[in-house]
Homo-oligomer: A and B are copies of this chain.
Amino acid sequence: MGWMADETGLQRRRANHVALTPLSHLRRGADLFADRTAIIQGTRRTTYRDYHARVSRLASALIAIGVQPGDVVATLLPNVQAHAEAHFAIPATGAVINSINTRLERETVAYILDHGGAKVILVDTALLALAEAAIATLSGPAPRIIEVADPEAGVPATGRYREYEAVLGAADPDQPWLMPTDEWESLALNYTSGTTGRPKGVVYHHRGAYLMTLATLATWQVPHFPVFLGIVPLFHCNGWGHVWMLPMVGGTYVCCREVSAAHIYGTIAGHGITHMGSAPIVLNMLVNAAPGDRRDFAHRIRVLTAGAPPAAATLAAIEPLGFDVMQVYGLTETYGHITHTLWQGDLWDDHPDEDRYAIKARTGVSFPMMDQVYVAAPSGEPLPHDAASTGEILIRGNCVMKGYYRDPAATEVAFSGDMFHSGDLAVTHDDGYIRVVDRAKDIIISGGENISSVEIEGVLMRHPSVSLAAVVAMPDDKWGEVPCAFLELKPGHIADAAEVIAFCHSHLAGFKTPKKVVFATLPKTATGKIQKFELRQGLRTGGFA
């Protein structure tokens, strides 16, 4: 180990060892970029000076309510200004932010409030009924509600709770922030979407969030003063950390209450959006937007996409519209993105479109703050880089969660063998780029053969009438499982099952060809992920018979 013969006087000190925390970015940004616009919500623009003061006010108000270091403070909010402010103010009191998925049903919200033990919850007026219903069923103490109204969006305050702006108005804009003294202190509590069983509470440390923000800037090569459209819900990995990142470069966060093609195009054209993140499903929405919803703009927009590999058809359609898409991959447990499809233009720019899109649909290579992200055999050994050997993605690095809150058993399982187990199955190409073939639980095993649902979905997305596709395993007496396809069609298109199956068969081996095709509106999570467990459940219960 690198300890010199005499290390007298060389210990950590306040001057040379400061706990890494994303809070530092806003403190610095408030000095550097005081008069620049930090946040736009509707017609309101807030400077960095005021952003910092409002964060300090919220921290002051939370302390006045009785929030103490280590407490949990929850949010049930869309991507509004108060939500961004909460991301700094809650940790600035030493508390932990628990941003709850706004599309969850009452029972799960109640479970999360009970399990996390939130002392206070910031609730959008439009979500008060959900919060109240959940709180009514709690077994533990009820959190205090602060109502966040949005009158400009047609959501005025009910008058039943203290409203956010009034709370801020009565608070101290000079409240000092409590910075972590140990970068391992807890910062955020994010519940997994819980496709099976109870959601698990993923705990983030300050160190990981800091490194995520710095490495995203470096790897995505974000310039100073980006204008960022906040599509990714802040309750999803804290919006991939972008709200924490933006003050480093004096960026503007444009709030996005409504995820629709018309609103997104309007915001891009109106505010000159330069950067955004989104699930591929949002890209599809932009591609398939009605002509009246589109707006012209002259610049290009850099897009991170995650949640599923972008289909070639999506990429082919969206690039000419002005969007430069880079796929990233990660999980709630990894603060969001930890791999990216690093584009090596000098090698690939001249490739035919089909090849370029195939590369862009890969999961990619690790971010520089990660130690190891690789595809492993069950033994934990790396698999060959042959684009064929399939194994689980194992992850080690500083953007891996502390563990699951109040669930040491699940934590130990997730960390077995000194690596974090992603549950995703992938192959590695000869150039080291990995490609997710499926979630471990989404793989279809038919007659002993593994079938990637993602592969079949890729073929289905090339069908001219298909807007969205999901393939799941259907029980089968002979083969054990066979693929079943669920499809949403483009507006005005029709298709029939036999024709779609024939289309698949012309591109896929027989055993991979779906045996059944169902036309339906697909159930989706808040982040646009298709909820395959509902499709599987529907098959089991005969809902799609």
Contacts and interface: CB of A to CB of B under 8 A. Distances in A.
Interface in A86-141: 91, 94-96, 117
A260 B411 CA distance: 59
A182 B432 CA distance: 28
Contacts of A307: none
Interface string A28-54: 100110100000000000000000000
Contact of A9 (B117, B217, B365, B403): B403
A415 interface: yes
Contacts of A215: 214
B206 A70 contact: no
Decide if the interface of chain A is mainly helix, strand, loop or mixed. Answer: loop
Interface in A354-377: 365-366, 368-369, 371
A351 interface: no
Interface in A392-416: 395-398, 400-408, 411-412, 415
B2 A96 contact: yes
Interface stretch (A13-21, A456-464, A531-539): A13-21
A186 B418 contact: no
B214 A180 contact: no
A188 to B, nearest CB: 10
Given A31-B432, A419-B15, A2 B91 contact: yes
Contact of A418 (B13, B180, B411): B13
Contacts of A271: none
A521 interface: no
Contacts of A342: 32, 224
A64 interface: no
B406 A8 contact: yes
A9 B96 contact: no
Contacts of A223: 221
A482 interface: no
A415 B13 contact: yes
Copies in the complex: 2
A184 B20 CA distance: 14
A371 B13 CA distance: 13
Interface string A183-218: 011110100000000000001001110010011011
Contacts of A17: 184, 207, 398
Contacts of A203: 4, 10
Contacts of A178: 1
A232 B32 CA distance: 29
Nearest to A32: B365
Given A2-B94, A72-B4, A221-B223, A400 B368 contact: no
A398 B181 contact: no
A180 B218 contact: no
A28 B368 contact: yes
A237 B16 CA distance: 16
Nearest to A117: B5
Interface string A335-354: 00000001010100000000
A415 B10 CA distance: 11
A486 interface: no
Contacts of A2: 69-70, 91, 94-96, 180, 185-187, 206
A70 B3 contact: yes
Nearest to A418: B14
A406 B185 contact: no
A218 B226 CA distance: 13
Given A2-B96, A182-B1, A396-B14, A9 B412 contact: yes
Given A9-B412, A405-B6, A395 B15 contact: yes
A24 B369 CA distance: 9
A307 B288 CA distance: 55
A223 B346 CA distance: 13
A418 B208 CA distance: 26
Contacts of A365: 31-32
Contacts of A34: 432
A4 B368 contact: no
Contacts of A187: 2
A402 B32 contact: no
B25 A181 contact: no
B25 A368 contact: yes
A371 B24 contact: yes
Contacts of A371: 18, 24
B69 A10 contact: no
A92 to B, nearest CB: 10
A371 to B, nearest CB: 4
Give 9 closest A-B pairs by Cβ, nearest first. Answer: A9-B408, A2-B185, A16-B400, A217-B218, A10-B402, A14-B418, A18-B371, A9-B411, A218-B218
11 contacts: A1-B178, A2-B69, A2-B70, A2-B206, A3-B186, A5-B117, A9-B404, A11-B402, A13-B418, A24-B368, A218-B218
Given A9-B403, A20-B398, A28-B366, 16 more contacts: A1-B182, A2-B91, A2-B185, A2-B206, A4-B70, A4-B72, A4-B186, A4-B189, A6-B406, A10-B203, A13-B418, A14-B396, A15-B420, A16-B397, A25-B368, A31-B365
